[in-house]
């Protein structure tokens, strides 16, 4: 069970998202970290690009752009429940 969730809201800019995800995936500890990308209604190749990360990240998809705060909140709702450390 992860102890840290990284929530990344994105809107278009697939190449920037890909570069960031690739770098992040090289450095995270998969046993304790989950990556949640919220695609906030992208109209470029972002949705297709994110499918290439299946099994490595969670993706929340909005049909239209809802804004940064809503995307962050929806990512938090998709996060795994954290275990309470003593």
Tens-digit pLDDT profile for residues 37-60:
999 999 999 999 999 999 999 999
Alpha helices in 1-86 (DSSP H): 14-27, 46-51, 68-78
d(CA 45, CA 62) in angstroms, rounded, equals: 14
Average pLDDT, the chain: 93
CA dihedral sign, ordered 64, 69, 70, 76: positive
- As to burial, measured by CB atoms within 10 angstroms (0-12 exposed, 13-18 middle, 19+ buried), residue 73 is middle
High-pLDDT (> 70) share of the chain, %: 95
């Amino acid at each position: 069970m992860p102890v840290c969730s990284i929530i990344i809201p994105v809107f278009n800019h697939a190449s920037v998202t890909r570069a960031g995800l690739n770098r992040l995936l090289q450095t995270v500890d998969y046993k304790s970290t989950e990556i949640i990308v919220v695609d906030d209604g992208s109209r470029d190749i972002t949705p297709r690009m994110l499918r290439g990360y299946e099994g490595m990240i969670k993706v929340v998809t909005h049909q239209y752009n809802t804004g940064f705060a809503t995307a962050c909140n929806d990512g938090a709702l998709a996060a795994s429940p954290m275990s309470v450390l003593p």
